[in-house]
Amino acid sequence: MTRAERAKRLVKVLPKVYPDAHCELDFQTPLQLLIATILSAQCTDKRVNLVTPALFARYRTAADYAAAPSAELEKAIQSTGFFRNKTKSIRAAAAAIERERNGKVPQTMAELHALPGVGRKTANVVLGNAFHKNEGVVVDTHVARLAQRLGLTSHKDPEKIERDLMKLIPRKYWTDWSHWLIWHGRRRCFARRPDCRSCEILSLCPSGKGFIRSGEARPLETTEPVTAKRRS
**One-character DSSP codes across 36-66:** HHHHTTTS-HHHHHHHHHHHHHH--SHHHHH
Which residues lie below 8 Å from residue 36, measured CB to CB, with a gap of 6+?
A: 25, 26, 27, 48, 49, 52
Cβ-Cβ contacts under 8 Å for 197 (sequence gap 6 or more): 212, 217, 218, 219, 220
Answer yes or no: 209 catalytic.
Answer: no
Catalytic residue among 12, 88, 140, 229: 140
Active site residue 164: no
**Nearest CA to 1 among 132, 157, 150, 105?**
150
How far is 67 from 53, CA to CA, in rounded Å?
19
> Considering 86, 121, 176, 195, which one is annotated as catalytic?
121
Sign of the dihedral through C-alpha 133, 138, 142, 146: positive
Separation of alpha carbons 145 and 136, rounded Å: 18
User: Which residues are designated catalytic?
Assistant: 121, 140
